Amino acid sequence: MRKPKAKGDRGSWEPGTPVEQNACYWSDEPAVIPRTAKIPAGALTVVDLFCGCGGFSVGFELAGFHSLIGADIHPPSVATFARNHPTASMIVGDMRRVKDETIIEAAGGHRVDVVAAGVPC
């Protein structure tokens, strides 16, 4: 993950700075970070778009689902989500630029049962 710009950079809080140009946001091509834990065969799965730290996924996991993919443009949020949801692969990047192949790679052969999407901040 990239680090923010120099100390004192206010990023998205700076008036007139578009969110997509904020120092904390991913500007490269979308990338997949593989899951660190297995998903049981036949488990119900959820994909969490604009996932932030993973609030939707927590609710779905409490209901018996397994997080399959978390996707966000904000690397610190992606890192937090990945620590809290080890069965999920992560897609870090601008969702407008994510290709079908990237989603297929992140799913790792698992079926998608639910797609949840938060409001991007």
Is residue 51 annotated as part of the catalytic site, yes or no?
no
**What are the structure tokens assigned to 37, written together?**
């834990």
Q: What are phi and psi of 30, to 5 degrees?
A: -55, 145
Q: Which residue has the tokens 């998205």?
A: 12
DSSP E strands in the chain: the ranges are: 31-33, 45-49, 66-72, 89-92, 114-117
- Please identify which of the residues 24, 51, 53, 121 carries the catalytic annotation: 121
Annotated catalytic sites, by residue?
A: 121
